[in-house]
Amino acid sequence: MTSKGFVSEEYSEQAEAAQVFAHNMALVAEQSQQVWSRFLDAKLRDSRPVHGDPLNTLPAFNELGQAWLHNPEKLAEQTLELWNAQLELWRRITLRFMGGEDRGPMASPARGDRRFRHEDWSQNVLFDYLKQSYLLTSTYIQDAVASAAIEDDRDRRKVAFYTRQFVEAMNPANFYATNPEVLHATMQEKGENLVRGMKMMLEDLERGRGNLLIRQTDMTAFAVGRNMAMTPGKVIFENHLFQLIQYAPVTEKVHATPLLILPPWINKFYILDLNEQKSLVRWLVAQGHTVFMVSWVNPDERQKDETWATYMFDGASTAIDKVLEETGQKALNLTSYCIGGTLAGGMLAYFAKVKDRRVKSATFFTAQLDFEDAGELQVFVDDQTIAVVDEQMDKGYLPAEAMAQAFNMLRASDLIWGYVVNNYLLGKDPFPFDLLYWNSDSTRMAAKVHHFYLDHFYNRNALVAGDLQVGGKSVTLADIDVPVYHIAAKEDHIAPAESIYRGARLMTGAKVRFVLSGSGHIAGVVNPPEMNKYQFWTNEDMSAPDVEHWLNGATETPGSWWPDWDAWLAKHSRSKVAARDPGAVLGTIEDAPGRYVTVRSDGS
């Protein structure tokens, strides 16, 4: 073939590639219009009032501005340091571009930061400059905010939180034109990645009914009752608030004292029964416990009149009655997780006041009881933001995506922007991951219950302040008088270990065993011994004023804390009895995990 033929063939291939690329860009433009149309249509149909500052950030940022005005020298000094650093970065990058010596980076991503993992972020001079310039600037912004003399603790945390949101959103990795991995994928795939990404974004908007409900895993890879929540058992009771599951025994003998688990209603109970390898429920059954689980209803308009009191008495207290009726026992061991523990704390204090002895011992999994400094979720709560949330709950419940968005913002880089890039820019399906499937299976919140929770606990710290009324009686943590096992997680960003420890110390009427687990809010709890991961710390002396000092005298043990808890439970359980078949007294309604847990808020 002549050279002219080769040129003609090469030109033809380039022309064909350009034609495919142009076609895909036209599809992207068309899909973009559909995305905007769907988004705007949802906003126009939303009759709720529009707030200029729904998260009430303006007062906090006004205080930040005043702090800078009162100490301009500090801000000027920090700005000059940034300017000098940027000049030095420009000098180094210019020399490197001209073939000079590479003196190494002036700014590097934090360990574990996956945003800049593509090789071009280091090897390509332009993208390396973008990366380092961003890192220098983002560090400057956050340091300037952190060092400002903001007197109000809540305002200081709020400013720091939303500054971090801004900094993470502005990361060059989040944008098509400044992400080398996305540019490479677009060239190699002739834009097919963007076509897939926009299709995925439109589907996520449809699933969120106009709100972008970002998928974090393959939603078709899992199903409750198919490959999740698989521990055998029966639903033996149900009412308008919950189903009660009794799990089938696998040992000939079981502890006489039954164990009731009160999970949070912000998420679904099957985080404790995720699969055969990670199931706390399955493990407890294998240790000879008769395990009962509350499966909360996913609220809708029918729960608009439910209150914190009905969740306590028609929910938790009724579940206790049914467990005791089924087993013929006079008392049980109660375990609660997260907000389920907040409910249990008030209920146990009330039980002590009225001499109700149906609970023999209480276990709290990462459950906040003292909300004086309740972590970053507290930035979403004050009188104005509660009023805005009330307007969101005009149908009698808080939409599931509202809470999901708040939790995702706590780790926006991983749970929001990482998926924006992976899903919508790279056009990749997210990896199948059971934990993220559970995380996406969000629940709605009954309006009055959620308002009470935000106002009485996050806003007023009522259980500590002596301002919580239960059954007409004022209760505090000091009223609790049953033995308590309290587990906190060292890296918990939802219920900080320091907050958990303060609450545990305030239970002055109870004998408390406080245990600190490695990892976070989920992995610190769901940590089967067979996985041999993390560690836990114990220290019988709780006189230390905070977790840091408590840790100084603590003993570290590798692996899971579950066996330690099981040994503690055994001390608060009676001798063994013959294993109990589920529903032998109350009868059975259906197989576990039951109907209530399968109701998804996104309609899928």
Length of the chain: 604
Q: Which residues of 14-28 are buried (b: 16+ CB within 10 A; e: fewer)?
A: eeeeeeebeebeebb
Q: Please calculate the CA angle 488-165-409 and round it to the nearest 5 degrees.
A: 45
CB 236 within 8 A of CB 314: no
d(CA 483, CA 593): 30
Tokens of 259: 């164990």
Angle of the 72-97 helix axis to the 125-146 helix axis, nearest 10: 170
Q: Please calculate the CA angle 444-448-450 and round it to the nearest 5 degrees.
A: 50
Q: Positive or negative, the Cα torsion across 419, 421, 422, 427?
A: positive
Comparing CA positions, the residue from 160, 152, 143 lying closest to residue 63 is 152
Tokens of 486: 């309290």
Is 77 a catalytic site residue?
Answer: no
d(CA 580, CA 594): 19
The values of phi and psi at residue 100, to 5°, are -80, -175
Tokens of 75: 């801000």
Q: Which residues are CB-contacts of 391 (< 8 A; sequence separation ≥ 6)?
A: 48, 49
Distance in Å from the first CA to the final CA of the chain: 58
Q: Where are the alpha helices (DSSP H) in 291-428?
A: 308-310, 318-327, 339-353, 383-392, 400-409, 412, 418-419
Pairing mode, if any, of strands 468-470 and 473-475?
antiparallel
* Beta-bridge partners for 517: 489, 536
DSSP label at residue 496: -
Q: Where are the alpha helices (DSSP H) in 538-601?
A: 547-552, 562-571
Please confirm whether the linkage preceding 593 is cis (ω < 30° from 0): yes
If 0-12 CB within 10 Å is exposed, 13-18 middle and 19+ buried, where does residue 578 land?
Answer: exposed
Spot the catalytic one: 201, 230, 266, 338. 338
**How far is CA 164 from each of CA 132, 140, 145, 347, rounded to the nearest angstrom?**
17, 12, 10, 37
Tokens of 1: 């073939």
- 3-state SS, 431-475, equals CCCHHHHHHHCCCCEEHHHHHHHHHHHHHCCHHHHCCEEECCEEE
d(CA 27, CA 543): 65
**How far is CA 182 from each of CA 23, 120, 124, 134, 526, rounded to the nearest angstrom?**
18, 11, 14, 18, 36
d(CA 524, CA 493): 11
Active site residues: 338
